[in-house]
Structures are given as C-alpha cells and as structure tokens.
Structure 1
Amino acid sequence: MSTVVPSEPTKPSQAIPLSGLNQLLDLASKRSPDDQHRLLMGVAGLYESAADHGGAPEALADIFVALTRSAEREIRRVLAQRLAKVDWAPPALVRMLAADEIEIARPVIAASPLLLDDDLLQLLADCSIEHQIQVALRPDLGAAVARAIVAGGDAAVMTALATNRSARIEPAAFADLVGHSRQLAALRAPLTRHPSLDEDLALRLYQWVGEALRQAISDRFTLDPARLAGAIQDAAQTSAGRAASDLPAAVEWDLAAEDPDARLVAKLHRAGQLRPAYLIRALREEKLGVFAHGLATLGRFEVAQVHRALAGDTARPLFLACIAVGLDRAAFPALLTEIRKLNKGFPRDPDGSAWRLAERSADQAAYEFRLLMADADGPSV
C-alpha cells in the first residue's frame, strides 16, 4: 500500500517582476476611466476573496497598490470609501490612501483598523493640517497620538482633539490642554464637556471661562464654595491686572480716529484698490488703524479680532491673519517690527519664535486665526 505524502501548502507568490508590473500599468493607463474603475474594483474583489482563503499573494498586493497609485482622483476616492473599514486590504495601500488628498484620506483615517499608532504619528508629522485634524478626531485615538498632538501645540488640531470624547488622553496631556485653553478660547467649551475633566482641572478652567461655561462646570461638579470663591478672586485679579497694564499699553485706540480709518478702507475696498501691499504701505505711513481695518476686511475677520491679535502676548495670531490675506511670510518680521513701533511693543513674542509656524495655506491660516481669536463662550469654528 503506497503512502500518500501530503503536498506542501501553496505559498504566496513572490513580488511580480517590475517589467511585468510596468506592462500591466501601461495596459491599464490606455483604458477609459470606467474601465480603470472596473479593473481596480475587480482587483479589490480578488484581494478580498484571497484574504478569505488564507491570504492574498504578494504579487496581487503589488498590483493593487500600483494600480491605485496611477488611478484618477475619483477612482481613488471611491476605493478609499470601500476600504475605510475593512481589515483585509494591503496595509501599504491603506497608508497610501491615508496620505492622499484629504477628501480621499478622510474616511480611511477616520475608521481603518489597519492604521496603527505609528502610522497616525507619521501622518501628524508629514501631512496637512486637515489630515492632522482628522487624526485628532479618530474614534478611540491612542494615548501616544493624543500626547503628540498636545505636544505639537497646533490650535486647530488641539481643538479637534478636545472634541473627541473617545480619545485616550493621559492626565498630564489633558492638563496641558486645559493650560492651553487660557489663551485658546475655542478649547474651553469642548474641555468643559470632556469626560477626562476632573474637579481639580475644572476649577482651574473655571478661572478663565465665561459665565455660560462657569454654569456648565458648576452643573457638572459639586465644587467646594471656598475653592470656587478663590478661583473667582484669582480670575478677577488676573483680568484686572491685564486690563490695567497690557491692553491699554498695547492698543490705545483713538475712537474718534477709528471711523475715518474704517471709511477709508471701505472706500478702497469698494473701488477694488485694497490689496495686501496696501497694508504694508499703511504701516510705513504710521496708520495702524488703517492697517487693522484693512486686515480685517481682506481676511473677512472681525475688527475686534484683529485688535486682540495686535494686543496679544504672542505674534502668532497676527502672523496667521497676515498669511490668510496673502502677505508673504518672509515679509512678516519687518512688518512686525513696524507694528511694534506704533503699538508700544505689542504684540509680544517672549521666545522670539512663536509665530514661526510650518507652511500654511491661506484658508488654513484663516481658520486657525479664527480659532485663536474666538470668543470665550462662542461656538468652536
């Protein structure tokens, strides 16, 4: 009786030769977008089926990634939606889609179980503000990623993290977020509602929020009346100190002169003559009020927001506002010097580099400026 020797299990094939892969891609590129879409979805179906039967061969993964890389934007967007929640896709493909433009990346970053903390940290380091915000909003975000977001100190990304109630934020990182909320008003409302807020941090937050959020904190926590009174007194002293020193020294606005400045800027705007270069000219002519109204008009900001930026303890908001209206970031140091000459040294910049941010688009800069200058009890941007 002969002995039947069981055959060895079939191993996944090695990577497809580069020449063969190039031929396949060349063939696919000559097809119509509809044919490319059907081809890619067919490969996705094959990969899913192979995953259900012991794993897909490496060659198929290579084909899947390469075809996706060369596919048109709309095809990549549809594929990203299909793969957003699956656990069988090639991890390299998921990472590639997560780093694609944000409309493609968003569903993958939000839900893919194949993105690990290291992948998310890489997105924070390499990708746009929109990608970073989506990482911060990811459900059940890990502590290491949350810690990196807080350490990064970006206003928009930290605000997104504060709204993510399922994020695992370590106590030290959450305390840092509360500390940032003293300057970043948009953080205050989401932090007030966050499950990680404890009584000690609530009392700290209580010192610099408005009446509506103070009531929300009081409704949530049973705060000791003596400690509450102390917090109110500390907040009052801090506010009075700033009112008595910083703000009047920073911006002594001549109310009689504001109307003419506003009228001049409105006239230039109606005539189509208000340009970023005019803001620089206004400063050279020592017209700080015209600069403020012009910056607000070009950026569609509130004049009060620009005034607060000019009176700030950091030049960061002013820098963001200038980028938002199209001023060259290389010109900002000289512009800041002119403003301080006219504005008694404000805005301050104690470490000399608070405004030296990574590259921002005009839209990103405007969004961050509005976050930083948001009213304390107003809605987040």
Structure 2
Amino acid sequence: MSTVVPPDPTKSSQAIPLSGLNQLLDLAKKRSPDDQNRLLMGVAGLYESAGARGGAPEALADIFIALTRSAEREIRQVLAQRLAKVEWAPAALVRMLAADEIEIARPVIAASPLLLDDDLIQLLTDCSIEHQIQVALRPKIGAAVARAIVAGGDPAVMTALATNRSARIETAAFADLVNHSRQLAALRAPLTRHPSLDEDLALRLYQWVGEALRQAISDRFTLDPARLAEAIQNAAKTATNQTAGLEWGSAAENPDARVVGKLHSAGQLRPAYLIRALREEKLGVFAHGLATLGRFDVAQIHRALQGDTARPLFLACIAVGLDRAAFPAILTEIRKLNKGFPRDPDSSAWRLAERSADQAAYEFRLLMADVDGASV
C-alpha cells in the first residue's frame, strides 16, 4: 500500500490555481480599504515568515503580487515603504512597485537591494523623468546604469547623476558629462566636487566655469601653469565666438522686440506667428517672439541660436507649443538666416523623447543657465 505524501507548502514549483486566485481577489475587492490593507499586510507577514523558514511557496508570491496590483494607491504606498529595504520580498513585486507612480516607486528605487542594474536600466527606458531622476540619485549605482543615464542625455537626469557622489561613473562616461556641462551649467558645480573628476577632466571643465568654480578646481588640483594658461585662452576664444552674431538689445532699442511687444499686448502673438516670421526672414522677430511666449530671457534664446547643438532650440520650440514634427523645417530656415547655426554635428542631438511643454521649458532653462551650477 503506497503512502500519500502531502504537498510541501514551501516548494516554489507550486502555483495557486487561477480560479482560486480570482476568487480570493474578488473577496478582497469587496472589503473596505482598511480590510484590504490588513489582508495585504497579513500576506506580507506570511511571506516574510515563510522566507525565514527556507523559502515562500510560489502560490503565496502569486497572491502577494495579485493583491498588491488590485490594491488602492494609499495601500500600495504603505507597502512600498515597508518593502523598500527588505531582501525577502518577491523580486517581481519590487519591480512592479518601482514602476508604479513616483510617490510609490521612490522609496523602492532608492533603497531596494532586489533591484539589479538591468532593472534600473529598464526603468530608465520605460518610466517617467521623475523615475529616471530617482534612479540617478540611488546610492552606489553601478557603472552600467551611469552609462545608460549619460547615453540618454536628459539634462535633469544627468544633473541628478552628477550630484550622486557615490555613483560609479567610468572615465569615458564622466568625460561625456564634462562635455555636456559646456551647454548645461547645472552640471558644473556638482562635477567639480565629484570623486570621479580627475586632473585632465578638471582642466577641460575649467575652460567654461565661472570664477568661483575655477577657484574650487584650483584648490582641489595642482594644475600645470602652462596648461592652465592654455585653458584660459581657449575659454576666452569661446566667449568671443558666443558673442558673435545677432545683437538683441533692449525692447526700447530693438525694433524686433517692439514688434513682438505690440503683438503680445494685443493678444496676437501665437506659435504660428514664429513660423511666419522665419518665412519672412525675420530671425530677430522669431527670437524675441520665442522668448516672450516661453517667458525666457532673450539672451538664452541668443545662446541657443548660436549653439553647437540644436537641442536647446528644440526644447524652447516645444515649450511654446510648436509641433515637434515641424522642427526640422524650422531648423533649416534658421540655419539659412544664421550662418549655419545652431550646429548639430551628429544631426540628431535634438531628437528627444516626447516632452510636455512644462518639461521642455524646465530642461531648456537647465541647459541655458548661465550661473555656476545654478539650477532652476
């Protein structure tokens, strides 16, 4: 006579039948939020206890994940706080919480030991700018994650990475950050303090920072006087080149500014008028109109029009409501009127992912900030 051996509840190969799981979820949904919270926390306690005894069964993990998915926002937020630093939670559940809305995801992204580099890189690819910033701020992120952040090229995310002194950033990726800081002033101050900055990159950074940060670099490194003099000379040449081109002047002195001011006062300044101005070869009117509609400093638009990349100009256009599909034609017209500027060596630096008008305006101001390390 054979002996029937009951199933071992700790074996991970066992899964709860789908019908049983659906019944449990239906029962949970009929409960009040307080009851749902107690049920979910009870399952969390069971899962932790089972893990301490050698491993929780797959069925319990299925229940845990399914209950969390159907729970209300406030309950998911409480659970995320509880699971943020533990090692016993189901990895799939942690990944799900990390991709939830940012207030739920933030503690998990910041601290969960169950999120691996591949998980963090996936968040950079799939989730919002807020999620990406939190990944960049995560303590001791690996070199692969840092490379992905720099390759993504988002100003806010790169700035967050630069402030993360525990991030492991390889020399090549850090050099890219230093190069980005020529256009993105918000990077400069945190880069001067980052442990990954070496003397060669410090000398490169020295060329485009202000006096306060130059002093900070000099205090940190013993720079060769000859190389320092060369860096200063290069910085002077860059400043001269950046001031060449269009002259803007004040609204009282500049006829283009006066035209834009009258249109704006009459409520007739619209994004479509900017395209019309370019077709009529009125680059100054376009620039002042873009500054007025976006509430930007006209000097920022000036620098965008004289830049080595079309990215800032693209962001400014998106910020005022111009269609991203129209930007290639806008860029062509501007270059005809502006001696080929803004340049774009790789021809696609401006091809960014979808941005809201507010996000585009924020990133434009980050790129165009002209004070040492100031944010917006």
- The alignment's TM-score, normalised by the length of structure 2, stands at 0.89
- What residue number does 1:371 align with? 366
- What residue number does 1:359 align with? 354
- What residue number does 2:43 align with? 43
Shift of 1:122: 1.2
- What residue number does 1:218 align with? 218
1:337 matched to 2:332? The reply is: yes
CA distance in structure 2 between the aligned counterparts of 1:325 and 1:81, rounded to whole angstroms: 39
Amino acid at match of 2:312: P
- What residue number does 2:244 align with? 248
CA distance in structure 2 between the aligned counterparts of 1:259 and 1:31, rounded to whole angstroms: 68
CA distance in structure 1 between the aligned counterparts of 2:339 and 2:229, rounded to whole angstroms: 35
Amino acid at match of 1:17: P
Question: How large is the RMSD of aligned CA atoms in angstroms?
Answer: 2.6
Amino acid at match of 2:294: G
1:30-69 map, 5 Å: 30-69=30-69
- What residue number does 1:3 align with? none
Amino acid at match of 1:11: T
- What residue number does 2:304 align with? 309
CA distance in structure 2 between the aligned counterparts of 1:282 and 1:231, rounded to whole angstroms: 40
CA distance in structure 2 between the aligned counterparts of 1:217 and 1:300, rounded to whole angstroms: 34
1:41-66 CA-to-partner distances (Å, cap 9, x unmatched) read: 22222222322332222111111111
Q: 1:11 to 1:378 in 2, by over 3 A?
A: closer
1:135 matched to 2:135? The reply is: yes
- What residue number does 1:101 align with? 101
- What residue number does 1:276 align with? 271
Does 32-41 or 113-122 show the bigger shift? 32-41
Amino acid at match of 1:118: D
Instruction: State whether residues 258 and 289 of structure 1, in contact with CA within 8 Å, keep that contact through their aligned partners in structure 2.
Output: no
- The alignment's TM-score, normalised by the length of structure 1, stands at 0.88
Give the secondary-structure state (helix, strand or coil) at the position aligned to 1:197.
coil
- What residue number does 1:156 align with? 156
1:66-92 CA-to-partner distances (Å, cap 9, x unmatched) read: 122122223222222221112111100
Amino acid at match of 2:70: S
Amino acid at match of 2:244: P
Give the secondary-structure state (helix, strand or coil) at the position aligned to 1:88.
coil
Instruction: State whether residues 163 and 190 of structure 1, in contact with CA within 8 Å, keep that contact through their aligned partners in structure 2.
Output: yes
1:233-274 CA-to-partner distances (Å, cap 9, x unmatched) read: 33324434x25xxx523x244667864544554555455544
- What residue number does 1:349 align with? 344
Instruction: State whether residues 295 and 325 of structure 1, in contact with CA within 8 Å, keep that contact through their aligned partners in structure 2.
Output: yes
Does 146-155 or 314-323 show the bigger shift? 146-155
Shift of 1:36: 2.6
Give the secondary-structure state (helix, strand or coil) at the position aligned to 1:312.
coil
CA distance in structure 1 between the aligned counterparts of 2:17 and 2:140, rounded to whole angstroms: 40
CA distance in structure 1 between the aligned counterparts of 2:44 and 2:285, rounded to whole angstroms: 59
Instruction: State whether residues 316 and 354 of structure 1, in contact with CA within 8 Å, keep that contact through their aligned partners in structure 2.
Output: yes
Give the secondary-structure state (helix, strand or coil) at the position aligned to 1:38.
helix
Does 110-119 or 353-362 show the bigger shift? 353-362
Instruction: State whether residues 129 and 364 of structure 1, in contact with CA within 8 Å, keep that contact through their aligned partners in structure 2.
Output: no
Does 225-234 or 211-220 show the bigger shift? 225-234
Instruction: State whether residues 319 and 358 of structure 2, in contact with CA within 8 Å, keep that contact through their aligned partners in structure 1.
Output: yes
Correspondence for 1:322 among 317, 325, 330 = 317
Shift of 1:189: 0.9
Matched length: 371
Instruction: State whether residues 12 and 56 of structure 1, in contact with CA within 8 Å, keep that contact through their aligned partners in structure 2.
Output: yes
- What residue number does 2:3 align with? none
Q: 1:265 to 1:47 in 2, by over 3 A?
A: farther
1:253-299 CA-to-partner distances (Å, cap 9, x unmatched) read: 46678645445545554555443333333334444333323322332
Amino acid at match of 1:296: A
Amino acid at match of 1:31: R
1:102-251 map, 5 Å: 102-240=102-240, 242-243=241-242, 247-249=243-245, 251=246
1:68-107 map, 5 Å: 68-107=68-107
CA distance in structure 1 between the aligned counterparts of 2:258 and 2:44, rounded to whole angstroms: 61
Amino acid at match of 2:356: S
Does 134-143 or 45-54 show the bigger shift? 45-54
CA distance in structure 2 between the aligned counterparts of 1:374 and 1:350, rounded to whole angstroms: 22
1:87-111 CA-to-partner distances (Å, cap 9, x unmatched) read: 1111001101111222221111111
- Of all paired residues, the percent bearing the same amino acid is 88
CA distance in structure 1 between the aligned counterparts of 2:329 and 2:7, rounded to whole angstroms: 73
CA distance in structure 2 between the aligned counterparts of 1:248 and 1:227, rounded to whole angstroms: 26
Gaps of 5+ in 1: 1-6
1:17 matched to 2:17? The reply is: yes
CA distance in structure 2 between the aligned counterparts of 1:268 and 1:229, rounded to whole angstroms: 48
- What residue number does 2:293 align with? 298
Shift of 1:9: 6.6
